[in-house]
Amino acid sequence: MPGILLGEAFPNFEADTTSGRIKFHDFLGDSWGILFSHPADYTPVCTTELARAAKLADEFKKRGVKMIALSIDSVEDHKNWSKDVMAYANEAGSPLPFPIIADEKRELSVQLGMLDPDERNKAGLPLTARCVFVIGPDKKLKLSILYPATTGRNFDEILRVIDSLQLTAQKKVATPVDWKPGEKVMVVPSLPDSEATALFPNGVTTKEMPSGKKYLRYTQI
């Protein structure tokens, strides 16, 4: 079964991109990384997504996350379509601030489980779905999201998730539903109360529950 699971090492693939040939781990260096695929160039939803990603490039940079996109079209198509993307982002003439991988043979798409059997091009070949992979500085997969071609992603949510991943990689906390940076976080269940009070100088508050179990522990980071 092709694909990659959370915690697995992300493949150190080689690929042609709009910035030349890359070896993925060298491209990442010591940074976090985000690889997001789209079904095809010159398609409407993809154009809106990549324009939004381009607009948010500084936000990804601030978080130390290197961006790279992928689809099954050629480097030349990617380069030409990028001009449309930047025009849609109201930045006509500026370069797309991240490379796009050209996976014309679909080898990488198969390896990473990105093909959507329900979406096909005119030749009947499957297109890539809207995958998001976030890779940590240890080159391991920290998050994967998979959307069908017909649903565009929410890049604000992707940034929010990265904020959570980066916070929870450092501290023994988890982020609750709809959490946003600056809001209270939850102490991970595996941490005993005695250690939690020592670890979180802002204090730990516990919400009373009908069960009497004290598992909802909040702190402010």
Residues that bind ligand BEZ (CB under 6 A): 39-40, 43-46, 119, 127, 149-150
Q: Which residues lie below 8 Å from residue 93, measured CB to CB, with a gap of 6+? A: 86
Rounded Cα distance between 56 and 49, Å, is: 11
Q: How big is the chain, counted in residues?
A: 221
Q: Which C-beta is closer to ligand BEZ: that of 49 or that of 112?
A: 49
Exposure string over 90-103, b if 16+ CB within 10 A, otherwise e: eeeeeebbbbbbbb
The SS3 assignment for 23 reads strand
Q: Which C-beta is closer to ligand BEZ: that of 85 or that of 134?
A: 85
Q: How far is the CB of 20 from ligand BEZ (least distance, A)?
A: 26
Q: How far is the CB of 69 from ligand BEZ (least distance, A)?
A: 13
Q: How far is the CB of 151 from ligand BEZ (least distance, A)?
A: 9
Q: Which C-beta is closer to ligand BEZ: that of 32 or that of 155?
A: 155
Rounded Cα distance between 204 and 99, Å, is: 44
Q: Which C-beta is closer to ligand BEZ: that of 35 or that of 46?
A: 46
Q: Which residues participate in catalysis according to the annotation?
A: 46
Q: How far is the CB of 44 from ligand BEZ (least distance, A)?
A: 4
Count Cβ atoms within 10 A of the Cβ of residue 25 and give its class: 0-12 exposed, 13-18 middle, 19 or more buried.
middle
